[in-house]
Structure 1
Amino acid sequence: MDKVYYMRIALGVIAGAISGFIIAPEIDQGTSVGIALGIALAFYGISIGISRNMTKNMPKEVKKKAGYDGVVPFIFMNFVLMILVYTALHQADILK
């Protein structure tokens, strides 16, 4: 189960970095939130598929736990990396 946990953290980092690169300062807030949530949901869906594949031969209760194990770190890393990448890329625009 540790592999599922760390895989979700890694996918949260990747999703946050992609969101930070895609969102530009000229995009309005509603669209930015939609883009960030869409990317996060897509990567979480990918992580569910991977976790099901990783827990194929395990008992049913382990498979259930694999569906939601690592959700909080996924969300946290997604937000942190999105903010860091966005700030690093658009620092000059933010400081105006």
Structure 2
Amino acid sequence: MALEKVYYMRLVLGIIAGVIAGVAIAPGTDQGTAIGLALGIAVAFFVISVIIGRSLAKGQPKEVQKKAGYDGLVPFIFMNLLAMIIVYTALHQSTILK
């Protein structure tokens, strides 16, 4: 039960981090800065999710607690990228299509 909550919590936090990154990156931003900003936001949200995941798994066996630390990593990454691309494209569509 705790691992399901961690999995979906990471999925939602990945979407939130992607939306924030999509809004934060402006069209004129150079590539290095944009990548650093996107990765920084993603890492910050992932650290928050690790802390929340471990607190959700308290009272569970040690194996479950260890797995809760990194369960849902792949959905976090994909939802982060998906949300970032969709939000950035939606906000800056006029500058992209020039």
Q: TM-score band, normalised by the shorter chain?
A: over 0.9
Corresponding residue number in structure 2 for 1:84:
86
Distance in 2 (alpha carbons) for counterparts of 1:51 and 1:67: 6
Alpha-carbon shift at residue 68 of structure 1 (Å): 1.2
Task: Tell me the percent identity.
Answer: 66
For residue 71 of structure 1, the aligned residue among 57, 70, 73 is: 73
Q: Note the residue ranges of structure 2 that are not aligned, 5 or more in a row.
A: none
Corresponding residue number in structure 1 for 2:12:
10
CA offsets 1:47-71 (integer angstroms, 9 cap, x no match): 0010011011111000110111000
Question: What SS is found at the alignment partner of 1:41?
Answer: helix
Q: Alignment length, in residue pairs?
A: 96
Alpha-carbon shift at residue 95 of structure 1 (Å): 0.3
Letter in 2 for 1:8: R
Distance in 2 (alpha carbons) for counterparts of 1:20 and 1:75: 14
CA offsets 1:27-77 (integer angstroms, 9 cap, x no match): 100000000000000000000010011011111000110111000000000
Structure 1 segment 16-35 matched on structure 2, within 5 A? 16-35=18-37
- CA-based RMSD of the aligned residues comes to 0.4
- Displacement over 3 Å in runs of 4+: none
Normalised by the size of structure 1, how large is the TM-score? 0.99
Q: Note the residue ranges of structure 1 that are not aligned, 5 or more in a row.
A: none
Normalised by the size of structure 2, how large is the TM-score? 0.97
